[in-house]
Chains A and B, each alone.
Chain A
Amino acid sequence: MRKFVLIGLVLSYAGVLLLAPMLALVINLLEYGLDTIWAAITTPEALLALRLSLILALCSVMINTVMGVLIAWVLVRHQFWGKRFFNAVVDLPFVVSPVIVGYVLIVLFGRQGWLSGFPVQLAFSTAGMLLVTVFVSLPFVIREVMPVLAAITPEQEEAAFTLGASHTLTFRRILLPILWPSILYGIVLTLARSLGEFGAAAVAGGGVQGVTETATIYVYRALQDRNDVGAYSIAVILGLMAVGILILMNWLRPQEGKKHVD
């Protein structure tokens, strides 16, 4: 009996905390009617903002997946001077406020910045927004992959070596399938974090409509403009994307994960 009370308690807590806001948002939105919503979503500004968010998130996922696995590899498998420091620094994006991150980019690469001579225009550009998005979502893949990588005993790789497999082939055929669930999870988090990024992208990009305005900046601005339909519509789309990502991952995961159940 006590078990059911606990289950009920946990479910209602999680339900209220996780689902209620999403539901409220959707109900709030539907009051405007589908035509109004469709019109709000299909304004060029909203579409461009969504597109920019997606492009930034996907690029950030690709960069952070490749680099994240690489960094995790170096941190787990190699010994070097300053490793502990480097390992701690990886978490920096978790503790630094995104607005500060954006501001630092401007300070470094802005007109009077130390690195203003940098050949690529970073301040107030999509490139700069990508840089800060990559920065804020950097730790996820690393932190997901590291413990799994550390738990892999060397024998699996050694077995592959004795069977003639090169280091790259061994990584691709033996390690990657083992790491894949953690990489996927890291990708989900990276994607979610990148899509949700607001402060750093807003400061780094300057928030120019249709150019450096992401979906979250659009939502913020729409709220300021009293364009509630626009804000809610894009917010719901972002929410649906998040749900979609979760479903996609759940669908991908068992196929890989099943083989790892012991």
Chain B
Amino acid sequence: MSINLTNIHKGYGAQVVVDDVSLEIESGELFVLLGPSGSGKSTILRLIAGLTPLDQGGIALHGRDVSLLPPQQRGVGFVFQNYSLFQHMTAEQNIAFGLEVKRVPRSERQARVTELLQLIEMETMGKRYPHQLSGGQQQRVAVARALAQRPEVLLLDEPFGALDVKIRAQLRQNLRAIQTQLGVTTILVTHDQEEAFELADRIGVIDGGKLLEVGTPDQLYRAPKHRFTATFLGNANLFPAHRNGSKVYLGDQHLPAPPDTDHLTGQPVEMMLRPESIEIALNPTDLKGSVLGQATVTQLAFAGALERVTVQLEDRVLQVLIHPAQSRQLGIRPGDRIWLGVQEYHLLATNHHSGAG
């Protein structure tokens, strides 16, 4: 186990910032802590790095208890949201700083700096000062600086937060490539679910200081255990339901219960329908999945690759995503009556977590 958090806790006065978080991260894994701002995710990172003192609990890195160690002795590479490059040092000097501190011989230091500059594809820019570099370049230097001492753990706090969308996508790929190549155990903090999906081996969803659930991107998207996860990781249509026998009842409709949901029998549950898993047809016989019922189209909106259709099914409003081609084929317009079907749906327990969303 590379990173092991045991019941860590941090509060400022009455305000709890990190609430009893336990987490195990495998060697070489890229783990993403995902949550809204103020959820405590950055604090967890700072607790691991030793920049914020721990109130309770334990932190072990590669089996070494570091809970009480100062940041200097934790062997952690840290990339800050604003990169925090040393403004009075060149890119090279920034990268070499940690090696200098560790009294690495000059020649070795030079070799390592060259190697890292190659890794971040900035071989020719070593002599530049941070203010002579673009945001993306600064970010890469910050990553290289954090990696210079070959840390056991790399921590990145919103590393793409200050960059525009285009550069972000490219840098993500670079980072993922570097991380895979070096195999360094990494925790990345973000509030961007798209980023989390693209980078993460596993994601931990955090809200209100609590680690709600941990899973692969796919698990969390398709089968979240928490309403918060369901909504934070993309759009979700959520409706109160109940499971009985082999059926799930959603108002008058009933659908076959999804597998492995026996434990939810008899308790209040919510049904989650991802907009893209709902299908629209003019006749119920054209639906491939289970029939939800007949609904009225209230709104059509262009949403890039897909078209967002808002429909009203009895007293419920649903968001549906369909291909524009299909939309054209159906020729639907607001006010039209259409049939809704669903191919994939998920049940989660109600009242499990009522934290701020």
Instruction: Give chain A's interface residues, CB within 8 Å of chain B.
Output: 153, 155-156, 158-166, 169, 173-174, 177-178, 256, 259-262
- Would you call A259 and B87 a contact (CB within 8 A)? yes
Closest A residue to B80 by beta carbon equals A155
Given contacts A158-B78, A159-B145, A164-B149, 9 further A-B contacts (CB under 8 A): A155-B84, A159-B80, A161-B51, A161-B72, A162-B49, A162-B76, A165-B97, A259-B129, A260-B87
- Would you call A160 and B97 a contact (CB within 8 A)? yes
- Residue B237 lies at the interface, judged by CB distance under 8 Å to chain A: no
Chain B interface residue count, CB cutoff 8 Å, equals 28
| Min CB gap A126→B, angstroms | 39
CA distance A164 to B71 in the complex (A): 7
CA distance A95 to B290 in the complex (A): 85
CA distance A153 to B87 in the complex (A): 12
- Would you call B145 and A163 a contact (CB within 8 A)? yes
Contact sample, A vs B, 30 pairs, CB 8 Å cutoff: A153-B84, A155-B80, A155-B82, A156-B84, A156-B86, A158-B49, A158-B51, A158-B80, A159-B78, A159-B80, A161-B51, A162-B51, A162-B74, A162-B76, A162-B146, A163-B97, A163-B101, A163-B146, A163-B148, A163-B149, A164-B98, A164-B149, A165-B101, A173-B86, A173-B97, A174-B86, A177-B86, A256-B88, A260-B88, A261-B131
B49, B102, B131: the one within 8 Å of A164 (CB) = B102
Convert B16-52 into 0s and 1s, putting 1 for each residue whose CB lies closer than 8 angstroms to a CB of A: 0000000000000000000000000000000001110
CB-CB < 8 A to A169: which residues of B?
A: 101
Closest A residue to B75 by beta carbon equals A164
- Would you call B131 and A262 a contact (CB within 8 A)? yes
Main secondary structure of the interface of A (DSSP, over half): helix
CB-CB < 8 A to B146: which residues of A?
A: 162-163
CA distance A153 to B84 in the complex (A): 9
Interface contact tally, CB-CB below 8 A:
72
- Would you call A158 and B72 a contact (CB within 8 A)? no
- Would you call A158 and B88 a contact (CB within 8 A)? no
CA distance A178 to B101 in the complex (A): 19
B87-107 with Cβ < 8 A to chain A? 87-88, 97-98, 101-102
Closest A residue to B148 by beta carbon equals A163
| Min CB gap A80→B, angstroms | 19
CB-CB < 8 A to B76: which residues of A?
A: 162
- Would you call A161 and B87 a contact (CB within 8 A)? no
CB-CB < 8 A to B49: which residues of A?
A: 158, 162
CB-CB < 8 A to A165: which residues of B?
A: 72, 97-98, 101
- Residue B70 lies at the interface, judged by CB distance under 8 Å to chain A: yes
- Residue B204 lies at the interface, judged by CB distance under 8 Å to chain A: no
CB-CB < 8 A to A161: which residues of B?
A: 50-51, 70-72
In the A-B complex, the 4 residue pairs with the smallest Cβ-Cβ separation, listed nearest first, are A163-B98, A155-B84, A161-B71, A162-B78
CB-CB < 8 A to A260: which residues of B?
A: 87-88
- Residue B77 lies at the interface, judged by CB distance under 8 Å to chain A: yes
CA distance A165 to B102 in the complex (A): 8
Centre residue among A155, A174, A256 by max chain B CB count within 10 A: A155
Closest A residue to B76 by beta carbon equals A162
CB-CB < 8 A to A156: which residues of B?
A: 84, 86
